[in-house]
Structure 1
Amino acid sequence: MLSEQIRRKAEYYVDSGDFSDELARMVAFRTESATPDGRVAVKAYLDDVLAPALTDLGCTVTEHANPDPSGGPFLVGTRVESPDLPTVLCYGHADVVEGLGDRWSHGRDPWRLTVEGDRWYGRGTADNKGQHLVNLTALRLLLAEHGELGFNLTMLFETGEEIGSPGFAEFAAAHRELLAADLLLASDGPRLDAATPTLFLGSRGALGIELDVDLRSDSYHSGNWGGLLRNPATTLAGAVSSLVDGHGRVRVPGLLPPELPDEIREALAGVRVATGPGDPVPDDGWGEAGLTPAERLYGWNTLEVLALGSADVDRPVNAIPGRARAVLQLRYVAGTDVDSAERIITEHLAEHGYPMVGVRITGRFAASRTDVDGPWPRWARTVLEEATGGNVAVLPNIGGSLPNFVFTDVLGLPALWLPHSYPGCLQHAPDEHLLAPIAREGIVLAAALFDAVGHPTADRPLPASGRKDLR
């Protein structure tokens, strides 16, 4: 069990202002991976912030070029205490989305930490600088207390997560020995809600889909040609409704998972979503029938229309447009076969009378998750419940997407994600913020997990897969 001394030091680090001071320095680096200036800032963040932090943990630090020129470098810190000890791989990302500085409220600046009560505003506070600072802090406290961690540590930072992690899978495949570990322990994404410590085991995938009804180069007078010329906007509306109906139910069997496994249903039993102040209320009758909101969000697929347009909605003219387009996104769980999605959608549309609709897959983020009944999730849940003295939500995956497949599918690791944010944090939007109580509790929870790896006991041993001498 985590000592009271470490727990008090973890909480004091937040209460004293030391954590927010350190976070303020991190936020000041404008590490937007989508801009040229941001990429310069990313390199400075690696050199001036993360590399020294890893060196202070006794890590050997190396920087690696990205095999994909559209992505940024990778930073790896390794601390080897003994080849007989288990190895923990930690992950974080140094990049952030666009600052959107002109849209933040009350004069807040995305590149300056603004403390207002329990909310710390700034770009990256929740995604992901505040989260990897929580874990770095927990490791520092344990090292100061024990003089050792009791396990080998590899910390990996990528710099392009917000632009789809280009080159990450290729880098991991080429550096399997460097990244070899017994488990991944990382932090990103949100908790179930602000008050509930959460462990999640993977992420849904995302598939970008573009529909294009390009029928003619010109627009024709609706009075003279209406009823004679096919309207691309009407056609597009019908095509979309054949894929997902007006109540959010996916109508293409090939875009759905084969089933909702019993173990996933059991894991989500009693899980309530959208319970935080300010959260929108889930709409009755929306989404797959017969599933709970938690099952729809964490255990099933959704097809969302992200954008749809034809002509100029703000200044329409009396003419039949020549073209209409829509952008859709399939959020899908592990077990869904999306390799043939373009063919499946094209054939479905043709069968429903829409062969003139062009279909293009614009991007893909793979779905993956660790077995919810596996030994590492059961072990972690026990540790976290002991540390909190209360309930811990264990989710099979989050609703969003992360590069979890790199760890589970490429590196073959069990993945444990301990998030230090919450659904209302406004990540990717103006006024992104981290909650001080979550950071305070997060350091304790992270320290408890790290300490349990490094100092197993007879009544709380590590899973056998975490002992290299038993392989």
Structure 2
Amino acid sequence: MSRAQAIANAQQHFDSGKFQETLARRIAIPTESQNPERQPILASYLETEMRPAFEAMGFACQILTHPKAKAPFLFAQRLEDPSLPTVFGYGHGDVIRGLDPEWKDALSPWTLTASEGRWYGRGIADNKGQHSVNMEALRTVLETRGKLGFNAKYLIEMGEETGSPGLRELCENNKDLFKADLLLASDGPRLGIERPTVFLGSRGSMNFDLTIEARKGGHHSGNWGGLISNPGIQLAHAIASIVSPTGQIRIPEWVPEKLPASVRRALADCEVDGGTDGPEIEPWWGEAGLSPAERVFGWCSFEVLAYKTGNPETPVNAIPPRAWARCQLRFVVGIDPDDILPALRRHLDRQGFPMVKAEPNREGKFQATRIDPEDPWVQWAVASIAQTSSKKPAVLPNLGGSLPNDIFTDILGLRTVWVPHSYPGCSQHAPNEHLPPAILREGLSIMTGLYWDMGAGKTPKQA
């Protein structure tokens, strides 16, 4: 049997409707990890859906737990020969809240619905559709070849949408069990709807609060205006000192010294495209001298996520006693995450804003990670995807958003190659989450080709 036959088998399975049936069954399970009432369902997804699917492919499965995790993990492995390369897969079966009343008429988050060239359902993009594609590709290669030709390990977690509690500790405690040559997984969006994409890490993220507590209670603006400070005005000026009117960060410690040459080369032909539902790019915003792709995938960005002073719902003629803002820094490799808030403190003090308190919030932070775009494993994956799709894949040094990718790179020591099967306009985390089935079909073909090539004896490890 051949590579082409394996891909044809995968496409036939998709076209027959069997993949859609599997995905519909998984989407119907309301695995909302942010909803405490759904806790028993999280474990059920692993036992009723994931374990049988992996065991049917000859994987040995075990449920793993950690005290910090609110839900269990499923670890599955198929070891064919210790001399063969080992690929580590990852996915999450939990989803964001369904937001049932907010979906369009005739749509439900828990029913896979085909409408106007799209498949709708909670988790189709994040992440049930994506790990279902990869699992079906594994099954197709195994069925076509009679063996994988490599060793496969797979971890499914059920708490990603609540910050992956316990995942870091689980990996620290199971380094030998999870040992592999490469992480090959799928999450996040493609660069654009038509272009296959590889990303190699993620930007880091830190959310923090800026607060001014000027005094107790508000005071009449007619009696006290011009005599006492206004925290809303002060905080606005403090924020304006952090970033220019066109979005350029003014704290030197918050931006890299330069864009690495390999990153610039990888992004040279990448065009950011949010599709018909995405916002229009504003070329004047952000770091000058960088392309849009370089700004979102190679640089840092500062955002004000929320701002409050006084009573926005029912304003009164009083100088407010307090102002608050929830802010965020997305950062790339090269930024010291432990110096983000100290650097901000030094900046605010230099600018004359000692009254502004800067504190991290409970959401914590993600570390920035990326592997070299010119790494041999990356080039191997890109060549495989190009052969299957007849398209030049986009290579993103890191995702613009954040993932706990450092768990895999720093704790498990893995090279990380992510192949997303979604697109920026998929309404992930929002009502009406959807995907065009063509993305899933192409993703299934791509992953079948990648897994076939993994077992063909021509991986970088054996070169």
What is the TM-score normalised by the length of structure 2? 0.97
Aligned residue for 1:417?
418
Counterpart Cα distance in 1 of 2:68 and 2:119:
34
Aligned residue for 1:340?
339
Aligned residue for 2:444?
443
Aligned partner (choices 449, 460, 463) of residue 463 of structure 1: 460
Letter in 2 for 1:339: D
Residues 350-373 of structure 1 deviation map (CA, whole Å, 9 limit, x = unaligned)? 111110111011210111111111
Aligned pairs for 1:68-107 within 5 A: 68-69=68-69, 71-107=70-106
Aligned residue for 2:368?
367
- Tell me, yes or no, if the aligned pair for 2:3 and 2:452 is still in contact at 8 Å: no
Unpaired runs of 5+ residues, structure 1, are none
Counterpart Cα distance in 2 of 1:160 and 1:246:
38
Shift of 1:281: 0.9
Aligned residue for 2:405?
404
SS across alignment from 2:89: strand
Aligned pairs for 1:68-467 within 5 A: 68-69=68-69, 71-274=70-273, 276-362=275-361, 363-456=364-457, 461-464=458-461, 467=462
Letter in 2 for 1:342: L
- Tell me, yes or no, if the aligned pair for 2:61 and 2:74 is still in contact at 8 Å: yes
Residues 426-448 of structure 1 deviation map (CA, whole Å, 9 limit, x = unaligned)? 10011001220011111110011
Unpaired runs of 5+ residues, structure 2, are none
Counterpart Cα distance in 1 of 2:101 and 2:328:
28
Aligned length: 461
- Tell me, yes or no, if the aligned pair for 1:199 and 1:416 is still in contact at 8 Å: yes
Counterpart Cα distance in 1 of 2:117 and 2:83:
43
Moved over 6 A (4+): none
Shift of 1:246: 2.4
Residues 368-423 of structure 1 deviation map (CA, whole Å, 9 limit, x = unaligned)? 11111111001111111111222111111110111211111111111110100000
Q: 1:182 to 1:129 in 2, by over 3 A?
A: same
Aligned residue for 1:6?
6
Counterpart Cα distance in 2 of 1:270 and 1:357:
42
Shift of 1:66: 2.1
SS across alignment from 1:149: coil
Shift of 1:3: 2.7
Residues 94-140 of structure 1 deviation map (CA, whole Å, 9 limit, x = unaligned)? 11111111111123111111111431111100000000000011011
Counterpart Cα distance in 2 of 1:236 and 1:38:
40
Aligned residue for 1:44?
44
Letter in 2 for 1:190: P
- Tell me, yes or no, if the aligned pair for 2:274 and 2:424 is still in contact at 8 Å: no
Residues 134-190 of structure 1 deviation map (CA, whole Å, 9 limit, x = unaligned)? 001101111111110001110101111111111211110110011000100000000
Counterpart Cα distance in 2 of 1:359 and 1:60:
48
Shift of 1:275: 5.4
Counterpart Cα distance in 2 of 1:74 and 1:54:
14
- Tell me, yes or no, if the aligned pair for 1:125 and 1:433 is still in contact at 8 Å: yes
Letter in 1 for 2:459: L
Counterpart Cα distance in 2 of 1:96 and 1:258:
38
- Tell me, yes or no, if the aligned pair for 1:2 and 1:448 is still in contact at 8 Å: no
Counterpart Cα distance in 1 of 2:13 and 2:235:
55
Counterpart Cα distance in 2 of 1:32 and 1:354:
42
Counterpart Cα distance in 1 of 2:16 and 2:119:
14
Counterpart Cα distance in 1 of 2:239 and 2:434:
36
